[in-house]
Structure 1
Amino acid sequence: MLATPRMRRLVALPIASLAALAMVFTTGQSASAATSTTTTKTATASKLKASTAKQLRQARAKQRRANRIGTAARVAARQKGDPYRYGASGPGAFDCSGLTSYSFRKAGMKLPRTANSQYQRVRKIKKRNIRKGDLVFFGGSRKYHVGIYWGKGRILHSPYSGSRVKVERIWTRGWSAGTLRLRG
């Protein structure tokens, strides 16, 4: 017969008591000292289980967030070839921040409408830590353009009037990186 989690808990208490008795006989400790030691070990095990459960929840949350960012990148990729139109946020035409806000919204994540507002919302990261799906911002203290990092020094963006959503190389060193990934 396989032991269920409930059965294991029911058996664990008597086993802990037996362990305390065994400690009394082998070490000469009093029963209360032996029980205290066993209780401490049980409490430590419970803390480890709680810590492990928390780490597992955090890992799952990170994975869900990464999946959503990947979905946003795929949504943006499907917009390739759509025309640029100032102030447009899809689905048939986009400006730069309209493309990013539309893509992340479709992936279930909220992102403000303008490039500068998006920059204020994301967690800033170093350029060397950028990954596909992160955001690339252009401009000084006030960001005027945004694109989705596509890997190998390229971004997917809606660049300017008369152009279309496309992937192209980053043309300047004056850019900043931001992410919606969770820390860790």
Structure 2
Amino acid sequence: MNIYLPVSRWAVALFTLFAFAFSFACGPVKQASATINYGEEVAAKAEILMGAPYKYGGTSPKGFDAGGFTQYVYKEAATKMKIPRTSADQYKIGKAVKQKDLQFGDLVFYATGAKGKVSFVAVYTGNGKFVGATSKGVKEVKMNEKYWKDRYVGAKRVIK
């Protein structure tokens, strides 16, 4: 037995379209979730502070030394991490990373005083560059510049 309804094809197509739209709109809702890349966020925080002055023993945007800068950046970034105060103590934490494997937010260490003794730390910002509190203030530096290349000690990843 066949049932025949006098309905046009356009009406069927329109009804199908509305039914599909309704089921899509009222169907299960997936909750959006965003994840933070903490390394990128740390690097961005470091870059925002470029231009801040250098100050021996400084730990704020009014003036930073190397360890004070990285400590401040990690605390103020989304990581909210508390890391040691000095470059040498920061070198004692985290996981060693080869230079070729550096990621945003890794700490890079240099011996700018006594040979081989860590005395400077900065935040890796990608493309072979770091941002750190140099004697000329917080600035971005290319790691392959002769001065820095000759004094490189290593790098650590403290973000899990």
Judge same fold: TM > 0.5, yes or no: yes
**Aligned residue pair count:** 118
Partner Cα distance (1:174, 1:86) in 2: 20
Alignment pair present for 1:181 and 2:156: no
| Deviation for aligned residue 1:173 | 4.3
1:50 aligned partner = none
Partner Cα distance (1:79, 1:91) in 2: 7
Greater fraction strand: 2
TM-score by length of 1: 0.58
SS at match of 1:147: strand
| Deviation for aligned residue 1:91 | 2.6
Judge conservation of contact 1:82–1:92 (CA < 8 Å) in 2. yes
SS at match of 1:131: coil
1:76 aligned partner = 46
SS at match of 1:172: helix
TM-score by length of 2: 0.66
Partner Cα distance (2:104, 2:126) in 1: 5
Greater fraction helix: 1
Q: Which structure is higher in RCO with an 8 Å CA cutoff and minimum separation 6?
A: 2
Of residues 36, 46, 60, the one that matches 1:90 is 60
Of residues 85, 93, 105, the one that matches 1:113 is 85
Judge conservation of contact 1:68–1:109 (CA < 8 Å) in 2. no
**Equivalent pairs: percent with the same residue?**
31
Alignment pair present for 1:172 and 2:142: no
Judge conservation of contact 1:69–1:180 (CA < 8 Å) in 2. no
Note the residue ranges of structure 2 that are not aligned, 5 or more in a row.
1-33
SS at match of 1:101: helix
